[in-house]
Amino acid sequence: MLELASIDATTDVEGVMKDTDGNPTGELGEMAAQFMAYKVTGMRKLDGINSNDLWSFAKTATNAGVTTATDLHARVEDQNVQAYVEVTKSADYPLRLVPAAAALTMSIQDGPSHVAQLKQHNNDKLYLGLCKIMTDGSIQGFTGRLKWPGYINGKPNGIWNLPPQTLTQMVEAYHAAGLQMHMHTNGDEASELMINAIEAALHKNPRPDHRHTLTHCQMADEAQFRRMAQLGICSNLFANHIYYWGDQHYSLTMGPDRATRMDACGTAKRLGVPYTIHSDAPVTPLDPLFTAWCAVNRQTASGKILGPNERIEVNDALRAITLGAAFTLHLDHLVGSIESGKFADFAVLENDPTDVPAETLRDITVWGTVVDGIPRPASQQSN
């Protein structure tokens, strides 16, 4: 592929990773190198979603004990919406879907009304109407926007996907339209921008119980959590990052001080910020019990415990992956707990997670799920 793209030792372009001898390793970061990869391999953009994709995703979800899933950056073109509607109308479909419309693919003028109109397609298993704002990049890619002192290895600050002013306008527009937003904020400067934007939007259009949610919200400090609590902002913390990149964050990106308070479930709980935790699948695997294990143990891939004071109890983590998530989706009256009047949705586990050592939470076998009162065995049960 490198040969086809004429990428060799003489190529001097950001994102073409090279080994110590100066030869390209094959790892291509950044847009330019990725464009060449697409070009020479004939790959175009990914096609839209079809019903087969949604059925196979639902199978994966069932295997992991998931009964409601949200795609927190969904394209809401007609083809995708049709696929959502088609599968969710089937009684056999074992999953409720909450696709959050990607606001950055729409103009600020047209986006809010478009997202509002999508609600007409909703049914018991489909909940359109949420939207997603992308603000910064990723911390491990050094593209997240960080407050002082920035990246500890001296890398320049990360990137905004749009000018901060435009992102602020976008928040105001979707909020004014009565819609709920989830905001991608990895770095603490990105969280700051969105907290400021929500605060400004609330001054213009006061609205109780908006439940706007900072997703990832990995580096938020305690002062930011206090503001979030005051403003009614929820957090969706990326607990899996502690395991997958915690060691790197400790030594390469944000350093010990900030790494030990990253994805601060303990602080969110203590300050009363409604919170849930996530895998960001396919960035890390879909497995809520593993995600809960991360929040409870805060153990990195190398075995280090990263900030024991931010650990939460097993019961807190179980609530975060059920009712906590439902709350941030405005669906806690329908799912997230087993109660009269709500859907009969739950995961069926081979062991009681409150009755095993907290270190083994991730090892519990999932039998399958019950969705809408119908048992849905995981793949391993069907033989």
Residues constituting the chain: 383
| Per CB under 8 A, 113 contacts another protein | no
> Residue 220 interacts with another protein (CB under 8 A)?
no
Stretch that binds another protein, among 2-10, 253-261, 302-310, 364-372 (CB under 8 A): 2-10
203 is a site residue for another protein (CB under 8 A): no
Among 4, 6, 92, 315, binds another protein (CB under 8 A): 6
Of 52-60, 156-164, 243-251, 311-319, the segment contacting another protein by CB under 8 A is 156-164
| Helices 222-231/188-204 angle, 10° precision | 20
Helix, strand, coil percentages (3-state) for the chain, rounded to 5, are 40, 15, 45
Tell me the site size for another protein, rule CB under 8 A: 36
Asked if 81 touches another protein (CB under 8 A), the answer is no
Our CB check for another protein shows the closer of 153 and 315 to be: 153
105 binds another protein (CB under 8 A): yes
Which residues 6+ apart lie within 8 Å of 244 measured at CB? Answer: 284, 301
What are the DSSP calls for 110-123, one per residue?
THHHHHHHHGGG-B
Question: Among 59, 64, 63, which residue's Cα sits nearest to residue 87?
Answer: 59
Residue 26 touching another protein (CB under 8 A): no
Distance (Å) of CA 98 to CA 26, 89, 191: 36, 14, 23
Task: State both tokens at 216.
Answer: 């990832």
**Contact pattern for another protein over residues 31 through 70, marking x by CB under 8 A:** xxxxxx-xx----xx-------------------------
Least CB distance from residue 300 to another protein, whole Å?
A: 30
Residues 310 and 261: beta-carbon distance below 8 Å: yes
Residues that bind another protein (CB under 8 A): 5-7, 11-15, 30-36, 38-39, 44-45, 105-107, 109, 145, 156-157, 159-166, 189, 193
